[in-house]
Structure 1
Amino acid sequence: MKKIEIIPLEGIDFEEGISIRFGQTIPEIKAVLGDPTAEEPHQLYYDHLEFRLDFDKNGELEFVEIQGPFSRHLAPQIYHVNPFAIEADDLVKLLTEKNDGRIDDSEKPYCYCFLENSVGVWREFVEDDIRATIDELKDNGEYEESKDWIEQDLEKAKFFWTVGIGNKNYYHTIL
C-alpha cells in the first residue's frame, strides 16, 4: 500500500517524497503523477491512487478527495491517523479539535465540513440507516438472501467514505 499524508490547507505527500500542493496546475501534476485514469474539465481522477483532484477556473489545484473506507491501494494519514480506520464519531472529534473554529454540520451525521482547516468528510449512510433496512428485510422475509451485502454495509457505515481537503476557504465558497 502506498502511504500518503493528507496535509490540510497544503496538499498531500507521498512516502516516495512526491508532493502535490494547492495552486499547482494540471500539467505540473501530470508531470509528477503521470496521466490520470480519467479526466474531465477541472478534474483529474487517479483510480489507482484512490483520489480525485479538482481545479479552479485558473486551472490550479483547489481540492483533493481521498476515497475510502476500505482502501486497496492507499494508506492515508491525517493528523497521524488513518481517517478510514478510525470510526466516524472519533474522526469527527479529532477533526473538531484540529479545526479550531466553525464547522458546517448541517448534513450530520453524513457530512461535516471543517471550515478553518478546509477538511470535509462524507458517507452515504450510517449504522441506524442499515439497521432500519435490516429490520425491513427481516419483516419482508428477505434478510437471509441479502445478509452478506447488508452486513458489509453495516460495517462500512461505521466510517466515513471520503476525506476531502481544500485550499484556504474552500468550504466557505461552497456554502
Structure 2
Amino acid sequence: MITQMIKIVLKPLQGILIEGIGELTFGQSKASVENLLGKPSEYSNNVQSFYDNYEMRLDFDEKELSFIEFIYGPYPEKTALTLYGINPFNIGAGPLIELLSLKNNGEIDDSEAEYCYSFLNISVGVWRDATEKDLQESINEAKLIGKPQGTIDQLEIELESVKNFWTIGIGKIGYYDNL
C-alpha cells in the first residue's frame, strides 16, 4: 500500500506550510496551532508538542510557537519536506550546508561542525549523530576485529543515512542566537 506523503514547505523565519492543512507561523498561540493540527501525539513540560503524523516537534515560549523541528530524517515515512526548493533530507550534507550558508549570508555556529550547524541569520539548524568518516572507521574496525557480517551490514546501512542530516529545525528570529 502506497501512502501519500504530506508535503510541507519550510519557510525560515516565518514557519511552515502544510499542504491541504494550512500555515503555522512563529508567534502563533498553542491553541491556534491545536485548532489547525489537532491535539499533539505527546506533550513535554507543556512547552513542547510532538505530532507523529507530521513527524515534527514544536516548541513554545510563553505559549507562542518559537521553533519547529523535523525529527524523522533522513528517511521520513509520512512527510516530504521542501526548503528553498529542495528536500533537505536527500540533497546530501555538503550541498545542504552550501545552500544554507548562501541563504544565511552571515554568521554560522559551526562549533560542532560536521554534526550540527546553526545558521543564525535564517534561524535554521541541522543535526546528525555521525559522519561518513565515523561510520567508515567503525566498519573498518569491525572488519579488523572480526565482528559478525550482520554487524558490518548494519553499519553499512547506517553509512548511507549519515550522508544527510537527520533533523532540521527552523526558529523564530534570533532563536539560535542564545543556544
Given the two structures, how large is their TM-score scaled by the length of structure 2?
0.94
Matched residue of 1:172: which SS?
Answer: coil
What residue is the counterpart of 1:47 in the other structure?
52
What residue is the counterpart of 2:138 in the other structure?
133
Which ranges in structure 1 are unaligned for 5 or more consecutive residues?
none
Residue identity opposite 2:121 in structure 1: E
**Cα pair distance change 1:143/1:86, threshold 3 Å:** farther
Counterpart mapping for 1:62-77 below 5 A: 62-67=66-71, 68-77=73-82
What residue is the counterpart of 1:31 in the other structure?
35
What residue is the counterpart of 2:129 in the other structure?
124
Counterpart mapping for 1:1-175 below 5 A: 1-40=5-44, 41-56=46-61, 58-67=62-71, 68-174=73-179
RMSD (Å), alpha carbons: 0.9
Query: 1:53 and 1:148 mapped to 2: Cα distance?
Result: 35
Q: Is the 8 A contact 1:113 1:120 kept in 2?
A: yes
Query: 1:33 and 1:42 mapped to 2: Cα distance?
Result: 16
Residue identity opposite 2:32 in structure 1: E
Moved more, 122-131 or 17-26: 17-26
Query: 1:143 and 1:3 mapped to 2: Cα distance?
Result: 40
Matched residue of 2:177: which SS?
Answer: helix
Deviation at 1:145, TM superposition (A): 2.4
Matched residue of 1:160: which SS?
Answer: coil
4+ long deviations beyond 3 Å: none
Q: Is the 8 A contact 1:134 1:143 kept in 2?
A: no
Matched residue of 1:146: which SS?
Answer: helix
Which ranges in structure 2 are unaligned for 5 or more consecutive residues?
none
| Residues paired across the two proteins, number | 173
